[in-house]
Amino acid sequence: MITLAYDPQDAALANRLIKDLTAQGFAINETLASGKENLLLAFASPASNQNHSVQDLITQAFDNSQHVVVVNAQPVPTSKYTNHLKAFDFAAGYPLQALVEQIKLLTSPQAGLPLKVLTPKVRAQNRGSGLWLMIIVLVSFIIGLVLVGFFRIQAPVEEYNTIDTEVAATVANIVATNLPRSTEDAINFPATVQAVTTAQRPVLIASATALVAPRPTKSGFSYGNEEDSSGF
């Protein structure tokens, strides 16, 4: 089903197209019915571009996810809602066959969905969705402040401390297992660094000096086993 949207000044071309499209087997409807099988033939001319009824029909078709075909009745830029569409120039000629092929394509089961256009209705819906989202975020923020400030709901400190303890124990085990403890181990330390996993290397390297460095005792510094520490 095809509906034509045009200003009365373009009536001569519109009546001719109605007659020719009817002869091609297309059904013409004066009102735009809902349904993706219906198509709008929108005229572009100075008068049609300024006609609010024509522009309302165009936005209605886009809101209904219906295809729109533009017919240039006079040399004029297309409207802002249809400037992304292919226009058929009936001002300089009468390309009826090309128009018919396009209509057949857009009304066939293989036709895809039309591009989404920011019509006034779509803009209003977007503003409404944004407003509701802002309200939800604001309410959530206020609820969070109340829970933290008045009900003292905070992060589980004990759980975090337990996890930190487990992490520290894991690091200590890695360090104790891999650090050099003799001159020979120290000589082979670079190879040891390459042998451990990449994630452990920074901890291993940064901790090497701390474990094998001299430690203070009651009688001053003790180096422990002289043979083991002679490499440092």
Share of the chain above pLDDT 90, in %: 38
Q: Which of 22-31, 139-148, 155-164, 171-180 has the lowest mean pLDDT?
A: 171-180
pLDDT band at 229 (very low <50, low <70, confident <90, very high): very low
What's the rounded mean pLDDT across residues 62-69?
A: 91
From the centroid of its chain, how far is CA 217?
Answer: 64
Put residue 65 in one of left, alpha, beta given phi > 0 → left and psi -120 to 50 → alpha.
left
Q: Which of 7-11, 45-49, 129-133, 169-173 has the lowest mean pLDDT?
A: 169-173
pLDDT given for residue 192 in this prediction = 65
Q: Answer whether residue 222 shows pLDDT above 90.
A: no
The verdict on pTM exceeding 0.85 is: no
What's the rounded mean pLDDT across residues 187-202?
A: 71
What's the rounded mean pLDDT across residues 119-142?
A: 92
Cα(124)–Cα(190) distance, integer angstroms: 66
Q: Which of 19-28, 81-90, 181-190 has the lowest mean pLDDT?
A: 181-190
pLDDT given for residue 78 in this prediction = 78
Per residue in 151-191, pLDDT (tens digit) is 877 777 777 788 888 888 887 887 777 666 777 766 666 66
What's the rounded mean pLDDT across residues 63-80?
A: 89
Per residue in 92-113, pLDDT (tens digit) is 899 999 999 999 998 888 888 8
pLDDT given for residue 177 in this prediction = 74
**How does DSSP assign 189-224, residue by residue?**
HHHHHHHS-GGGHHHHHHHHHHHHS-EEETTEEE-S
What's the rounded mean pLDDT across residues 111-139?
A: 90
Q: Answer whether residue 225 shows pLDDT above 50.
A: no
Cα(107)–Cα(128) distance, integer angstroms: 33
Q: Which of 11-20, 45-54, 81-90, 172-181 has the lowest mean pLDDT?
A: 172-181
Handedness of CA 177, 182, 183, 184 (dihedral sign): negative
pLDDT given for residue 226 in this prediction = 44
Residue 46 CB-density burial (10 A; 0-12 exposed, 13-18 middle, 19+ buried): middle
Report the SS3 class of residue 104: helix
β-strand 215-217 against 220-222: which pairing, if any? antiparallel
